[in-house]
Structure 1
Amino acid sequence: MMTPSTPWGHERGHLPRRLQIRNQVVGRRQARRLSRRFARVGVTTPPDRLQMMLAGSPAAHAEMADFNFGLIATRLKREQFSARVQRMKRRGTRSLLFLGLVLVTLNFLFCMAWALFSLTLEAAPL
């Protein structure tokens, strides 16, 4: 009888099937990229070891914990970055709207000044 796999890895220390990229072997470039992302959040795993883990070789419990932490931390970092980008977009839209309203107001004031100036020129006796 086999034990069911958990979402964080099998009991024998293998990565879950959903993390294996469509039954393909992860390339060196993808493994290096993943290793750099993990290094940004504090997990130092060499790209060769990540490549072997994603290919299905057994991993120690500490490696599995580091891998899972790296995945969660990179996802959290990506979500924080996208939230910051959305805030900047909203702030930029608000600033552009404010700038547009200021320009409309200044245009209205210049038009009023021009109208009053032209009326005073016509009313003045020569």
Structure 2
Amino acid sequence: MLVHFLFLVFMAVGGFLAWRRPRLIWAHLAVAAWGVASVITGMECPLTVVEDWGRRNAGQEGLPAGGFIDHYIEGVVYPEEHTNLARLAVAALVLVSWAGYLRRKARAGSPPHVNQE
């Protein structure tokens, strides 16, 4: 469960981490692409499959049909009727983090400002 939650946190804010560690941008792009694909196609996350397997082998009840997000996030962190708003907020965070990353990268690549007075 903890790994799954950290994965979702990285999906939301990993682009900001790439501001300090630029190589993380590639991992974040992959995670964000997975997030978009899973929302669009409804694919089950492999982490949900692993968690469900672990819960069942530990003698616990498996995750409900909606998976990790339906069980731990929706209705707990935000009301279920605001799912689309939460998705938009995460998408906005990702886009802002990428814009900031690109801006920092452009600044790092530009020549230093020379005062020509």
Q: TM class by shorter-chain length?
A: 0.3 to 0.5
TM-score, length-scaled by structure 1: 0.33
Using CA pairs under 8 Å that are at least 6 residues apart, name the structure with larger relative contact order, 1 or 2: 2
TM-score, length-scaled by structure 2: 0.35
Between Structure 1 and Structure 2, whose CA radius of gyration is higher? 1
